[in-house]
Amino acid sequence: MMRGRQVSLGAVVWIVIGFVVAATHHFLETLNSASTIGSAVLAVIAWPLVLLHIHIAI
């Protein structure tokens, strides 16, 4: 019997929407340094702030 960690549907939807929002706001275009990668990760996680035009950068 395999037991694994289950991810909620809400978490999956949140991350998918986060990727879409981050991509449309150009956070995923140039991921060539730690700061741009960090900014992209923050944009995916905190996508409602991106929609409110709050600048997320590391």
pLDDT digits 0-9 by tens, 2-33: 666 788 999 999 999 999 999 999 989 988 99
pLDDT at site 2: 60
Do the beta carbons of residue 42 and residue 21 sit within 8 Å? no
The residue among 29, 27, 49 whose CA lies nearest residue 40 is 27
The residue among 45, 43, 38, 44 whose CA lies nearest residue 55 is 43
Higher per-residue pLDDT: 51 or 56: 51
The residue among 44, 2, 8, 6 whose CA lies nearest residue 25 is 44
The residue among 20, 57, 51, 19 whose CA lies nearest residue 39 is 57
1 pLDDT tier (thresholds 50, 70, 90): low
